[in-house]
Amino acid sequence: MAKSHILVVDQGTTSTRSIVFDDQARRVAIAQAEFAQHYPAPGWVEHDPEDIWRDVLATARSAIDSSGVGASGIAAIGITNQRETAVIWDRATGAPIHNAIVWQDRRGVEACRRLKADGVEELIRDRTGLLLDPYFSATKVAWLLDTVPGARARAERGELAFGTIDSFLLWRLTGGAVHATDVTNASRTMLFDIHRHRWDADLCELLRVPMAILPVVHDNAHLFGTTDTALFGAPIPIAGMAGDQQAALFGQACFDPGMAKSTYGTGCFLLLNTGSEAITSRHRLLTTPAYRLDGRTTYALEGSIFVAGAAVKWLRDGLGVITHASQTDDLATQVPDSHGVYMVPAFVGLGAPYWEPDARGAIFGLTLGATGAHLARAALESVAYQTMDLVEAMSADGGGRPAILRVDGGMAANDWLCAFLANMIATPVERPGDLETTARGAAFHAGLATNVWSGLDMLKGLWSRERCFEPVMDDETRAPLVAGWRDAIRRTLAPPA
């Protein structure tokens, strides 16, 4: 009997999930584990790679057991991951030389400023599609090599390996046999030429990253390797990998130019499929490979918002305004409006289209009449306002305004947020029947590589809509809300007096 189940490892910023899908892309089993965040200094964020590896093994084994098909019934493994997070490990032992430096981490700000002063930002942008920012992996790698004693010399000798989380997991799953990544993760390092599809020697020299530590780059649907038999009791092909946001675009079946999705998790990431054209943004968006199949690349414009769900988490853990994230829906509907309160959640700087790493969170419009409900509503509204900024920037860049925006991620379950978002972007918002679109995307890649699915047309038929939120707000009502947001952004970005 042909194997028809896919195991996906979805390694995120705050948790690791393993999900088994059947050949109809239905979830059969799921296991999840949260892991610790480490903040060794202001603006620094780290993960212990051993925590991640432990959770990957535990959740994968649990999901396989719960699925009832066993390791021998799994056709392939797909991996999707938090992007930009950098790990360096010893090739001989597989041991990390330091904690992973997370995508949110800002310790590379000064290095980026020096590079900007040297006038190299345009070169980086032309070749990588990225802005010169510590968000991406390269300055994290350089910091690790400069800080860990002896690391740079060992890297030059080829004793160390660098990878984003996908690459580290692939190494561990294959027992150290494979050091590779996929095009979407490679493109987030600031070292990969997205037009020539190769690591760029000039950029590696400029950013002080030895090419000897870089992984091999493959298509997203590709037989990367096979798991060590000892891990699951039977060898399983690893046949799909993609960074989480590109995986979500693929899982939302946004295969045609002009289709867009927005994922709401810790941050928010909006991707617009631009087909075979790599559009250069004039409004500080990113140009990125969406996926590469059979050597052919489909590109996307991407807007990255650093804080979405993290603002709700702050209301819960930092202020105690709520005890559970789901309460924001109820609180938002308890008040007729935000009482003039605007939250700009720049806790770790502002992402697209502003890209201001030094910006910090701010709340405007507080009066004695403001309540916790108004704060909760302002936090949700900030997510919609930031998405609106991205949609407008994409339209101005020539990517076109999406006719429909497909949403996913934990916050997309919030009906009030989806409705307000539709009003702010004046575009219908579609929510799929399964919000696990990131994992589905990785499953789709792995299934394509192992003939569980025959092609994109077959995958389109597996996508279903749960609900569509139509915009109902008129321009007269919308205009002052947008003006208030613009003013809040202006004041957040204003230099101190």
Pairing status of strand 160-163 against strand 100-101: unpaired
Domain boundaries of the chain, sorted by first residue: 5-245
Distance of alpha carbon 464 from its chain centroid, rounded? 22
Please spell the DSSP secondary structure of 76-114, one letter per residue: EEEEEE-SS-BEEEETTT--BSSPEEPTT--TTHHHHHH
Distances (CA, A) of 317 to 15, 311, 460: 17, 10, 39
Please report, to the nearest 10 degrees, the dihedral formed by the alpha carbons of residues 306, 412, 183, 27 taken in order.
140
Q: Is residue 493 exposed (0-12), middle (13-18) or buried (19+ Cβ within 10 Å)?
A: middle
d(CA 75, CA 7): 8
Q: What is the pLDDT along the chain (497 residues), one digit of tens a residue?
A: 568 899 999 999 889 999 999 999 999 999 999 999 999 998 899 999 999 999 999 999 999 999 999 999 999 999 999 999 999 999 999 999 999 999 888 899 899 999 999 999 999 999 999 999 898 999 999 999 999 999 999 999 999 999 999 999 999 999 999 999 999 999 999 999 999 999 999 999 999 999 999 999 999 999 999 999 999 999 999 999 999 999 999 999 999 999 999 998 888 899 999 999 999 888 889 999 999 999 999 999 999 888 888 888 888 888 787 777 777 777 778 888 888 899 999 887 888 888 887 889 899 999 999 888 888 889 999 999 999 999 999 888 877 788 899 999 888 988 999 999 999 999 999 999 988 899 999 999 999 999 999 999 999 999 999 999 999 999 999 999 999 999 999 999 887 65
- Cβ contact 486:424 at 8 Å: no
Distances (CA, A) of 172 to 11, 53, 73, 90, 151: 14, 8, 21, 12, 21
Residues 6+ positions from 302 with CB-CB distance below 8 Å = 245, 269, 270, 271, 272, 285, 286, 287, 288, 352
Which CATH code of 3.40.50.720, 3.40.50.12280, 3.30.420.40, 3.40.50.2020 fits the domain covering 5-245? 3.30.420.40
Written as six digits, the tokens of 50 are 């051993």
- Residue found by looking up tokens 């990131």 in the block: 438
